[in-house]
Structure 1
Amino acid sequence: MDNPITIPVLLDLTQAASVTSYGIFSLSRFEGSSITDTLLEAAAELFSNHYGIWGQGAASKVGPFAKAGWRVKISAARLRAEYLPQSENAQNVYVKAMMGETLVGHAFATRWEYEGRTVCWITQLVVATPHRSKGNATQLLFKVRNSGYLDLGCGILSSHPFAIKAATRAFGVGLTKADLSMTREHARSIMSCCPVGYIREAKCKGSLFEDGQTNSGVVSCANTGFYVDHTEPLEALEIIKREGISWPLGTLPDGCEFLIFVKIGSSIISPPRSATVMETRNCQIDKVLSSNA
């Protein structure tokens, strides 16, 4: 058998296929009516198996089904009803990541018009546990961004710091240079006209919004009433801090999610490392090049 060769191949993330260090990682984008029930059933299964678990006290806040330690679950019907608004003003997109025949990640987003410009909001971002911390969430969001729209910016609500980091990389200039002025000046008004109900109804909190919480450590988040356990997100936050990145959004109260609205600039950072093939075999390179021809 031939020895592996080393050929750096940088892939265009607007294409349908990209490569990670562990195999072929394909991305597909669906919009509007092309988001079928079959796609949503697979998405619901991924979410229910990998999103997170309910936190302490969730049952008393949300209902008896939200028992601490139990996985947060969702149905395909609820995904369609709550994450794919049918408003004439809403443009919905779903991006999925496949590893062979296995769904390993997805992103839902909705676009709508705000003050004469299109804005984008990431409404759900999930990556299967074994495939996290490899840049795959950023690749998913690059695919959302490259949909042909001239967005003013992109917002996201998430309790997971890796999701926030991915959004700032895909739509902005990265977490280290994140500018919170757009969040401070526009997040409330943008969210108030969002076609997605849970975003429209979320209440902004933190010192960024001058809500009197200057001494609590809360900088930018929103109360969504989503009492997910914060153990894993806090571990992710420590990883980010060990990378030398100063976390800009402060602490996270129970029932809240971090909030950021990223203004899209004239240029974006390079695709994540997992989109670069450094060591692979001829057959894998041939597959990639032919799929991107």
Structure 2
Amino acid sequence: MRPPITPPTNHLALPSCPTSPGKATFSYKISVGNEISDDVLNVCAELFSSNYGFWGKQASTISKYTIPGKNVKMTGARLQEQCLSHPEHTVLVTYYLQVNTLEGPQLKGHAFATVWDYGQTKVGWVTQLVVDEQVHQRYIATQLLQAFKFHTLFFGVNIVGLVSSHPAACNALAKYAAGNIKDINLNFIRKHASGILATSPISYLRAAQLRGTLFEDDCDSGAISSVFTKFYVDHTEPLKVLSQYQARDQWCLGELLDGHEFLAIFPISPVPVSPITPIEPQSPTKS
């Protein structure tokens, strides 16, 4: 029997990314949900607000506060509600960068994930992934996700997933699963997406509506594996990146529609002894 592995309590150093500044130092830190302070949540919310993106043209249909062209904002309280509602089953990985000794380490990336049971299997779901735009294309998103493997909550996870409007986030998750973004097992998503989302403890995932040819017989929108989240963010930058993946024939999740996000789900090791049985969502009982 393999002895238990104690998760690191200090900053976790991962391999240096090739384009880091020569004199910079960086570190990754893993925290379980009940160890995350309000101060950390507020800093993560600030990073999100500065880097996530802008509201799209239809954002005004969400509320009077979601104004097209304005930054998508996040508060610490809302972040806690969306990503930390089940702290004992949640992990946060943070990436800190220190460029010079006159300034302390600055938060430049973070990833939240929540774990839950799906039948006889265990799901690890990335609920938020944000990287400062100043350090994009330095493998930070990939390393943030890889760091989850060091925490005991992720021991035994054999399905990982996320919903995101950004192809790079889906690609980073594919690397976590030792897969290729162009060779996703779409049949696995078709069979298990509904059950996985229905068993999630995260309310916005349970409310998400499956869209695309995997789930709709008469779909002609170009979407293949998506969810309609009514999150009308501007897709200019994600669509530019998507076109690059498509030009290299490195994409199989279909088109990105307004108010939608891609749905990426991967089976990973350890593989369960018996096949994963789909769980059908139950209709609410009428009283």
- Under a length normalisation based on structure 1, what TM-score does the superposition of the two structures give? 0.81
Alignment of 1:171-210 (within 5 A): 171-210=177-216
Distance 2:146 2:257 in 1: 29
Alignment of 1:1-293 (within 5 A): 16-18=12-14, 19-20=16-17, 21-22=19-20, 23-59=24-60, 61-86=61-86, 91-100=89-98, 101-148=105-152, 149-213=155-219, 215-242=220-247, 244-265=248-269
Percent identical residues:
37
Deviations 1:207-227 (A, max 9, x none): 0113420x2211010011100
CA deviation after TM superposition for structure 1 residue 130, in Å: 1.4
Distance 1:48 1:182 in 2: 34
Compute the RMSD of aligned alpha carbons. 1.9
Deviates more, 1:70-79 or 1:24-33: 24-33
Question: Structure 2: which amino acid aligns with 1:17?
Answer: A
Residue 239 of structure 2 contacts residue 256 of structure 2 at CA under 8 Å; is this kept in 1? Answer: no
Q: Structure with the greater relative contact order (CA < 8 A, sep ≥ 6): 1 or 2?
A: 1
**Secondary structure of 2:34 counterpart:** helix
Question: Structure 1: which amino acid aligns with 2:92?
Answer: Y
Structure 2 spans left out of the alignment, 5+ residues: 1-10, 99-104, 272-287
Question: Structure 1: which amino acid aligns with 2:94?
Answer: K
Question: Structure 2: which amino acid aligns with 1:183?
Answer: I
**Secondary structure of 2:242 counterpart:** helix
**Secondary structure of 2:158 counterpart:** strand
Structure 1 spans left out of the alignment, 5+ residues: 1-14, 268-293
Deviations 1:116-166 (A, max 9, x none): 221111000000101112211010000123323111211100001111111
Deviations 1:3-54 (A, max 9, x none): xxxxxxxxxxxx8013223133311110021011111011000000000100
Q: What is the total number of aligned residue pairs between the two structures?
A: 249
